[in-house]
Amino acid sequence: MEAVCSLRIEGTIVANEFIDRYMASASGEYVKVYLYLLRHQPNPIEIGQIADALDYTEADVKRAIAYWEKNGLLLKKPEESEKAARSKEVSGLTEATLEVSGSKTQEVSGRRPMYSQEQVNRLADDEDFTQLLYIAQKYMNKVFTPRECEVFAYLYDGLGMTAELLEYLVEFCVQGGHTSIRYIETVGINWHERGFATVEEARAFASGFTKDSFAIMRCFGLTDRKPGEAEKKMIEKWFSVYGFSRELVLEACNRTMEATHSPSFRYADKILAEWKKGGVKTVRDVVLLDEKHRGKKTVRAVKKANQFHNFEQRDTDYDSLVLDQVKSWINQS
């Protein structure tokens, strides 16, 4: 019987020695990083690329690489380590040339120190913290990895957020459909920066979120319906993750309407993402950013004008020539 079609599935070969000898004793995070590197060898891979693909921080990836280097599965070239640390590239399984700090705390995404397992273990006798981990795992329906325990240790011990507040944080994120530890960490840091110390303050902020949603829909002229799921996620990102005020978000919505003459959450999202990237926190910051952009446009316009004036200009008086030509026509007639 003749086959109608054939399927071709590309694959990655994993050595039996890795499965038999190393996989069982390594954490799941480390195994994922190793498999990702294996999949993409021998092409250069940026640390950020790995972190985004696996939903880890760059410090998580570095720690995994250090683990496999220690076990001899990744070879580190000493003469290239400084260059590699600057370029932040992993050029294959035999050339993992990143240096990993040996200190107990490292900056993660430029925002928080990474708690070591030893520091987490010191909280084992803290009943509030152990109960927090138990409740959070029940909410998220999973068993925490060391990385997830480290995040909660930082929020609890490093930032001084209460166990009760962190339990509400998990509840708030999970009910919104977000179970990523990176998302929970970002919202937790945002709440800390806003000065929330109690569940009541956080809950008041969450209830006010509905008022913010209504204000945005009214600004877009969409008062006849509620935000869709994708729109809700963007609104939540603007307030909870970016930490923008309602005034700033509405300013972005107004600019969207002026530019597109129609409600566009994606267009507003691009504006707010640029403002977040530019460090905007107030409307005054937006004004300064606008002035900066106008200054760049003016410089480009001046350069373009100067390019035109680089051509040699003639001193011919065209008005006189035209007048003489008209006189000549009159005399001939």
Mean pLDDT of 5-22: 69
Model pLDDT, residue 6: 45
Closest residue by Cα to residue 62 from 108, 86, 98: 98
Nearby residues of 227 by Cβ (< 8 Å), 6 or more positions away: 213, 216, 217, 235
Nearby residues of 192 by Cβ (< 8 Å), 6 or more positions away: 155, 159, 161
Mean pLDDT of 130-137: 94
Q: Tokens 């937006």, residue?
A: 286
Model pLDDT, residue 113: 56
Q: What is the pLDDT of residues 230-284, one digit of tens each?
A: 898 899 899 988 889 999 999 999 999 999 999 999 999 999 999 999 889 898 9
Mean pLDDT of 212-225: 87
Give the rounded percent of residues in the chain with a pLDDT score beyond 70: 73
Q: What is the pLDDT of residues 224-239, one digit of tens each?
A: 777 888 898 899 899 9
Q: How far apart are CA 255 and CA 263, in angstroms?
A: 10
Q: Helices 146-153 & 127-140, crossing angle to 10 degrees?
A: 130
Whether 111 shows a pLDDT value over 70: the answer reads no
Q: What is the pLDDT of residues 152-205, one digit of tens each?
A: 999 999 899 999 999 999 999 888 788 888 889 989 998 998 899 999 999 888
Query: 44 or 215, which is more confident?
Result: 215
**pLDDT category, 133, cuts 50, 70, 90?**
very high
Mean pLDDT of 292-307: 62
**pLDDT category, 114, cuts 50, 70, 90?**
low
Q: How far, in whole angstroms, is CA 14 from its chain's centroid?
A: 31
Asked which of 9-13, 19-23, 83-87, 276-280 is least confident by mean pLDDT, the reply is 83-87
Q: Break the chain into its structural domains and give their ranges.
A: 16-102, 117-283
Asked which of 31-40, 61-70, 74-83 is least confident by mean pLDDT, the reply is 74-83
**Topology annotation, domain 16-102:** Arc Repressor Mutant, subunit A (1.10.10)
Mean pLDDT of 57-85: 68
Model pLDDT, residue 208: 73
- Give the chain's end-to-end CA distance (angstroms, integer): 98
